[in-house]
Chains A and B, each alone.
Chain A
């Protein structure tokens, strides 16, 4: 049975997949199977995000299959990606 970690990421308890195209992202944490793109804020989204300070990033997690944006995070350099996962019985999702 398909369950969701986020609206964009599904899991069967073992393998995480892109909810849009079904591309397998691998076991948890799902972000390891996604493309990570760290955009400095200054170039992330026009003038409003450009605070004039370096070191803050908009991290995009992208499905390698369909290029849909699965999740975003605001992060400073060196901060680990947030780990969202389901706890399903008897599975190492």
Chain B
């Protein structure tokens, strides 16, 4: 087709997704959508295959495609113009119940020509714990309302009885209503803009461009795969809940222009809600694949075709009904993100041509703390601690990871200001900063995670409560690359205040008076003078830590992100009195580390 028209239509499809995202954020007005960017909008072809994926939570791009297909199957012959469908059943296509998909057909001159789909994490879904993540859930039935597909708008008209039924099942019906309205507005914009495009260029021309776009992505992706070495790369993730450990094991095999992701060997599904369904696992591996391998290729069906997933049924990455899945997005799915990031990173690093595209794992473990309770202004507040989106960058073959730099599957998140949180919740931060020694050591250091502590502050009810779905406190999850260490793991500590001690201006965990108790899973109070301390994981490192530039290590010590102990023990860098690196002593330390490494008597296995 004419390359100019093709280029214009491609650009416009891109912008249509953009405009729909803007509309969604405008109408929603919630913090998780606006600050966390916990959302997604994409366009799909008439058969439900991905046409144009936007920048949002990327593990939704393929799952929403499956949602489109599920709606097509269920409503074949009854799909009307301006209908809007809702789907949030994880065993049909969704990731977990609180990430609701709205799927809307786009018609032109009476014919179904495309779909738009979007999601937000709704304020509540009626699960047994508030906010959507339900660590106490025992099965899908305790995780709130779930639909394998229903018609919410019939030819543009809201089905009020259906809406009322949904709102009747959730804790914060006004906010959920607004969440749904934001997605409807988003579908409307996508439909209007697509209509204008179709009118201007005619349906056959647009369809040809869409087909060409998918074709082009496939061609380019296959060519990239052919340029990478054939081989297999493995990774393993541990998910820790209440002392029970589940493994996600991945073997990625690349042959010519095809990629197979095989999760054989992963543990059976858990009784905890960290499991994910197969559509979620598929989404989970594509989330890093799009930005790592297809950064310059349009994200659509063409990228999906060369990829196969094998996920054993009944495993943690392909659980069977009624296993609970409400923590999936920060549980098994995130582990799939991490495992895929590692194997893709290894493959890219194995190619001298693509080595600079490789990265160690970024922010590997969300902690998803939802706080709720009466606020200082006479109302009731519920919301996520947006530090969970703050993340940490993995180290690269040419540079350190970005400190508190976000995550790969959701490239454009942000965290709220302390003042924003303290204005909305009756809490006070004692500190919030980069967490020392959290970035995975390496020749290039992983970006640091962060640490923070909060206490209740002038709370009318004496405090608040929070739901925490923080797995992984026992295992580092942000794997390193090429000899780099993983980022340090998460840590959650409830400091029980002693009788009279006040936290005052404690600025480290160690100086908060009281008795520490690790917490990670369930619902807890934050009352009196008690404090909640959270440290989140750093990114993985790249390369041997004793190959790191001593001056860079010394600078890290000066700015407080690496301890003198870690500098000496891991990096083999001795510090001079002026804070710089002591060259001679560093050479000696590094020599001693080499000697110790070689002192291990025999080869492995």
**A–B direct touch, CB within 8 Å, in complex?**
yes
The residues of A with any CB-CB pair to B shorter than 8 Å are: 3-8, 31-37, 41, 44-49, 51-53, 56, 58, 60-62, 64, 66-76, 79-88
Interface membership of B476, Cβ < 8 A: yes
Q: Which residue of A lies closest to B488 (CB)?
A: A48
Query: Given known contacts A76-B238, A84-B233, is B600 in contact with A46 (CB within 8 Å)?
Result: no
In the complex, the answer to whether B474 meets A32 with C-beta atoms within 8 Å is no
5 CB-based A-B contacts, threshold 8 Å: A45-B570, A47-B565, A48-B535, A58-B476, A58-B486
Selected from B245, B481, B570, B605, the residue in CB contact (under 8 A) with A36 is B605
Give 8 A-B pairs besides A7-B397, A36-B603, A60-B597 with Cβ atoms closer than 8 angstroms.
A6-B482, A32-B605, A35-B598, A45-B566, A51-B474, A58-B485, A66-B594, A69-B544
Complex CA gap A4/B482 in Å reads 11
In the complex, the answer to whether B483 meets A8 with C-beta atoms within 8 Å is yes
Interface membership of B441, Cβ < 8 A: yes
Query: Given known contacts A41-B476, A52-B518, A70-B483, is B234 in contact with A83 (CB within 8 Å)?
Result: yes
Q: Which residue of B lies closest to A44 (CB)?
A: B485
Complex CA gap A70/B603 in Å reads 13
Interface membership of B489, Cβ < 8 A: yes
Complex CA gap A85/B352 in Å reads 16
Q: Which residue of B lies closest to A25 (CB)?
A: B603
The residues of B with any CB-CB pair to A shorter than 8 Å are: 229-236, 238, 245, 247, 251, 253, 255, 346, 349-352, 355, 358, 397, 435-438, 441, 473-477, 479-486, 488-489, 491, 518, 535, 543-547, 563, 565-566, 569-570, 593-595, 597-598, 600, 602-605
Query: Given known contacts A7-B355, A69-B597, A87-B255, is B236 in contact with A79 (CB within 8 Å)?
Result: yes
In the complex, the answer to whether B255 meets A53 with C-beta atoms within 8 Å is no
Complex CA gap A82/B112 in Å reads 48
SS class of chain A's interface: helix, strand, loop or mixed? mixed
Contacts of B233 in A (CB 8 A): 84
Contacts of B435 in A (CB 8 A): 48
Contacts across chains A and B counted by CB atoms under 8 Å: 159
In the complex, the answer to whether B598 meets A64 with C-beta atoms within 8 Å is yes
Of the candidates A31, A32, A58, A72, the one having the most CB atoms from chain B within 10 angstroms of its own CB is A72
Selected from B247, B397, B489, B544, the residue in CB contact (under 8 A) with A49 is B489
Query: Given known contacts A7-B355, A34-B604, A48-B488, is B482 in contact with A71 (CB within 8 Å)?
Result: yes
Q: From residue B388, how far is it (CB to closest CB) to chain A in Å?
A: 19
Complex CA gap A46/B547 in Å reads 18
Complex CA gap A27/B600 in Å reads 21
3 tightest A-B CB contacts, nearest first: A36-B604, A48-B488, A69-B483
Contacts of A88 in B (CB 8 A): 230
In the complex, the answer to whether B545 meets A6 with C-beta atoms within 8 Å is no
Complex CA gap A73/B343 in Å reads 13
Q: From residue A17, how far is it (CB to closest CB) to chain B in Å?
A: 14
Complex CA gap A4/B353 in Å reads 11
Q: From residue A65, how far is it (CB to closest CB) to chain B in Å?
A: 9
In the complex, the answer to whether B488 meets A45 with C-beta atoms within 8 Å is yes
Q: From residue B395, how far is it (CB to closest CB) to chain A in Å?
A: 12
Complex CA gap A7/B441 in Å reads 17
Query: Given known contacts A48-B438, A49-B488, A79-B236, is B483 in contact with A5 (CB within 8 Å)?
Result: no
Contacts of A7 in B (CB 8 A): 349-350, 355, 358, 397, 481-482, 543
In the complex, the answer to whether A32 meets B597 with C-beta atoms within 8 Å is no
In the complex, the answer to whether B600 meets A62 with C-beta atoms within 8 Å is yes
